[in-house]
Chain A
Amino acid sequence: MSVTIKECSLACWFALMLACGSAGTEPGTPEALPHAGTGEFRPLTEEETGVAGSDGRVLFSPGAMDTLFVHSRHLFFGGGLLRTDAMDPPSEPIRSWVDWTAFQSRKIFRAVPFGQQAFRDAVPVLSAEQSWEGESVSDPCIVETSSGQIWLYYVGGVDSAGQGGVGVAVAQSIEGDFLRTTDTPILGRIGGVLPRRPSVVQFAGEFLMYVSVGDAIHLARSPDGMTFTPMGPISLGEDLFNLDGAETGVTEPGALTVTTGTGRKVVRLYFVSLRDDGTRAISIAASLDGVNFERFQRPVTAQTFARSPSPVAVDDRVTLLYTVGTRISRRRELGAAQGLVTPGDTDLSGE
């Protein structure tokens, strides 16, 4: 008995000493920290875009591009091809955005995924056909309905010809053919001003359309997504950020609906803040009702000339923000799709 007890005791002590003999490890890091998609975005890296070389951060640059929208990894953009009879490019690069006189009438193009985050093979999916559309259509925005239909909102008459307004076309899939549902705009001019850059989201059982009207962002509401009622300009909250000069207007809304980690439904609205020094700061505001917004008091990117922010929620913490940046080609300043991401520690290179 005594030997058994001794052995038992020694075994227990030995086991305990072995148990505590394990080596220490580095402190654990969380699998993923919560992030609201606000705050600062960083540009995608070459590893993330999958495009090597000097254009590593350019996701797509087919020519002239004024607005874009990304849905299901497909890029929709309003753009035009260079006219064959275009005048020789100026001796100095045109710094006043795209010189549309050198390009054909704007159409809406669709490009397919390429590499990690880039795009290629743009084909036109919608051209101006109706009288109210004048000669150009642009400013695409995609909404996928619960039945899987793809609704393409766009702006006709952007070249000042025709009545102009916001129209809608429907496809049965993201790569399908788009057919107009009406022969009239679903949202006409507001106060005589052509609405631009519609951004439509489904929220709280209705469709909310944010549009640029002059230097303000307006809201229009719809129960079915086909007939919208203008609700007037919305306030995005007081602008306290004045390092780059005072704000002179807000434009180019890009809306996104998200459900927070606690189940709150929020509309996040990315937009361009026009500064009095001529720069553009992409900012964000958020709302619980789609009408009353609280503003984040810093630009979300250091880029000062980016346009047409189009957000995509990758998951409940990672947000991609596509913008139209600038690219000089043959001394002409053109648009180029670029990508930003937040939070900064996100690594999309493996996707």
Chain B
Amino acid sequence: MCLRFINLGSRGVTSCFLFLALVSAPRMLQAQSADTFGFGSRSTALGGAVAADVSDSSAPYYNPAGMVRDGGIHVGLGYSRAYPMLRINGSDSNVDVVSGLDIGLTVPGEFDGFRFAFGLAAHLPDGRISRSRSLPRRQPRWEFYDNRPHRTFIATVVAIRPLDWLLVGGGLGFLAQSETTLEIQGTIDFLSEAQTRLESQLIASLPSVRFPVAGLMILPHEDVSIGLTFRDELQLGNDLDADVQATIDAFGIDVPAALLLETFAVNVFVPRQLSLGVSYTPFEALRISAEVTWLNWSAYRSAIGDSDVELNIQPPPELEGAIVVPESIEPTRELAANFKDRFVPRIGIEYIPVSNTDLSVAVRAGYYFESTPVPDQRFLSNLVDTDHHTVTVGAGLSLLNLRPTLPGKLSIDAHFQWTHLPERDTVKNSLVDTTGDYRAGGNVIAAGASIEIAFE
């Protein structure tokens, strides 16, 4: 039995490594920055239409099966930055800039003629590791740009190539949700701040949520490839419990009081999705890819969470009538999101005008359309979204003859992305809705660059 990394000649790795990798490595941390703005400059410049046409360091994200397509280790590092310019009723929504590092790694190998690869992809936001915030349901928020892109994304997957024309990859992803418990105990003295004593304890945990991913690539002809990818759904909850036990000193009379608050909201929902893509190379310098993705947004329950409040105040006899304690506090119940599934068509074109033994130059363009899954917000909720038209362009320079400095090629890619969100009117059913009607739309521009080393 031998283990050999393709074209690398490494021989010091034992079979244990393979075993451990196959058992424990297939984990993917699915983030929405990549879903929204793409991952890696080449794939982003092609409009993300790469399920059938990816073998670089972005393969672990787009289609892990692509990791065993070309062979060779790919190490990529990129940086992207997106500027949402979104407005509601003409006012800037001040949606946060999304930026961070994209890191990709694919390591193919061969085990007794059996070809496989490990992959790693990560998006590390440079502003914050993660962001969660719950907003009042009446407050309009850009559903796809609020919390969603602000997530750290790490993916490790494996792929195998059982047949020359069949490539299969997959993994299991996880992401952390938030569970927080706040406990406060003590005495509140209305007349003396110094006599007020409150002790608090905050317990926060981030249990993981797991979901599977899989990819398939079929190569029926040297000029044609077909890709199929699947990602299961993911719901990240935001669970907050508060337990307040206090004695209120009301002018010398102790009034025991207790407040119990329990809230739960789905902070981020990633729908189950299935992509089918095809890539065609009519001649060597041109490659055209098309893809359609189904996203199961109809499974989204609600962005508006449940909350239960229990207030227990026991006024002493001398304060009967002076303190009115409500018998119950109306709980908040989640509102059905009623999202609808959507199909996202994508197209990407790559043209290589210059190609010789030393270098190659590629220019790329792409387009995709995302119809909004968000229904008209005619009632209490205010999840803002419109259709998305995204145009991408990019270019890449590959230096092919770098020996002896580098036994492989060095690629530098850049992309620019423009997403137009045509204005959408939200007309409330109720004329006395406190939020009222609004018109939302705008643009998002993003740009990035990446550098990748592909070892021979």
Contacts and interface: CB of A to CB of B under 8 A. Distances in A.
B432 A264 contact: no
A266 interface: yes
Nearest to B96: A28
Interface string A99-123: 0000000000000000000000000
Contact of B432 (A6, A9, A16, A38): A38
Nearest to A25: B127
B412 A30 contact: no
A266 B453 CA distance: 62
A241 interface: no
Interface stretch (B48-56, B85-93, B296-304, B386-394): B85-93
Contacts of B434: 35-36, 38-39
Interface stretch (B221-229, B251-259, B282-290, B422-430): B422-430
A285 B133 CA distance: 33
Contacts of B91: 30-34
The range of chain A's interface size is 35 or more
A261 B399 contact: no
Given A16-B78, A36-B436, A317-B89, A286 B404 contact: no
A38 B79 contact: no
Given A5-B402, A34-B438, A262 B431 contact: no
Interface string A1-44: 01001101100110010011111110111111111111100000
B79 A20 contact: yes
A295 B432 contact: yes
A261 B140 contact: no
Contacts of A288: 431
Interface in A32-76: 32-39
A5 B431 contact: no
A27 B131 contact: yes
A263 B79 CA distance: 41
A37 B405 contact: no
B94 A294 contact: no
A82 to B, nearest CB: 39
Given A5-B405, A24-B128, A12 B412 contact: yes
Interface string A172-203: 00000000000000000000000000000000
A22 B427 contact: no
Contact of A296 (B140, B432, B437): B432
B157 interface: no
A239 interface: no
A20 B126 contact: yes
Contacts of B435: 33-36
A5, A13, A262: residue with the most chain B Cβ atoms closer than 10 Å: A262
Interface string A297-322: 00000000000000000001100000
A316 B438 CA distance: 10
Given A9-B451, A20-B124, A29-B94, A36 B131 contact: no
A235 interface: no
Interface residues of B, number: 49
Given A20-B99, A287-B431, A261 B437 contact: yes
Nearest to A295: B432
A2 B404 contact: yes
A295 B93 CA distance: 30
Contacts of B78: 16
B139 interface: yes
A73 to B, nearest CB: 24
B245 to A, nearest CB: 29
A324 B43 CA distance: 65
B101 interface: yes
A316 B89 contact: yes
A36 to B, nearest CB: 3
A24 B404 CA distance: 41
Contact of B127 (A22, A36, A284): A22
A329 interface: no
A317 B437 CA distance: 11
Contacts of A316: 89-90
B432 A285 contact: yes
B319 interface: no
Contacts of B101: 16, 20
Nearest to B426: A262
The 4 tightest CB contacts between A and B, nearest first, are A36-B436, A28-B94, A24-B127, A286-B431
19 contacts: A9-B453, A12-B451, A19-B81, A20-B99, A24-B127, A25-B127, A27-B96, A30-B93, A33-B139, A34-B88, A34-B436, A36-B437, A37-B436, A38-B432, A38-B433, A260-B436, A261-B89, A264-B427, A316-B90
